[in-house]
Each structure stands twice: as structure tokens, then as C-alpha cells.
Amino acid sequence: MDRSIGIDYGKARVGVALSDPLGIFASPLETVPSAKIIDYLKKIAGTTGIARFVLGYPLNLNGAPAEAAADVDKFIGKLQKTFPDIPIALEDERFTSVLAHRAMIDGGMKKQDRRDKNAVDKISAALILQAYLDKKK
């Protein structure tokens, strides 16, 4: 079965997560420099069937798009151009960084390791993807 890819897009880094083949759970995969994300996704697409991309979409507390949404919109355009046959779902990414830090604390990760922004980004991508998968059930 095809898998879903969760993406936490940022100007500098992109967190990536991958669902299991049944679409039940999401696992953090990698954090990739933003400039290399399309090539990275092409590599994954070449080895794994991708059913959809699930992108974290930045919203303000009032539900309006946040300032960073413009960057995500540009990235969506690149994704659509590169992967025209793969649908893109948007998922609210509010509080995912906070939840990622909480997950790292609850998982017993040391304080020094929790400062690693790469870890936060890929865990955030997994949380975004998991929220989407849970809604699908």
C-alpha cells in the first residue's frame, strides 16, 4: 500500500515523517535543508509509493493564515509542479513544536538533545501526519 508523507516546512529546514503502509501511525523520518527537500522527496518517491503529502499549514490562533503561510504556499506550488499526480492535504500545525518538545521530555530525551532543532522538526512532521491519519479513521 502507498504511504503518506508528513511535512513540516520551514525556510531553513523541513521535517519529514512517513506513515506505515496501512496509514495507522506516523514515524519521524528526517530533517532536510529546505533547498534540498524536492530532491529528497523525489528519492523517497522512487523507492516508496506515495499516496499523498500532508503539509503542516501555519495558522494564527484566530484561524487565519500566519505570516509563514506564504512560504508554505510557494512550496505547495513546487510540490504540485514536481508531483502533479500526488494529492496534498493541509493540516493545522499550531502547537506542533510545543507538542514535539513535550513528546521528547515524556520520552526521556536529555535537555541537550531536546535543543536539536532537527529532532523537533521531524517530530513535528510526525505529529502533523498523525493528526491527519487520526482524522481519516
pLDDT at residue 102 in the model: 65
Residue 101 confidence (pLDDT): 54
Write down the residue that cell numbers 499523498 correspond to: 52
pLDDT tens figures, 78-93: 999 999 999 999 998 8
Beta-bridge mates of residue 59 = 65
Which of 75, 91, 102 lies closest to 130 in space, CA to CA? 91
Helices 37-47 and 69-82 cross at an angle (nearest 10°) of 40
Contacts 24+ apart (CB under 8 A), 37-46: 37/7, 37/9, 37/75, 38/78, 38/79, 38/82, 40/16, 41/5, 41/16, 41/79, 41/82, 41/83, 42/82, 44/5, 44/16, 44/18, 45/83, 45/86
Which segments of the chain have a pLDDT < 50? none
The model's pTM? 0.86
Q: Which CATH class is domain 3-136?
A: alpha beta
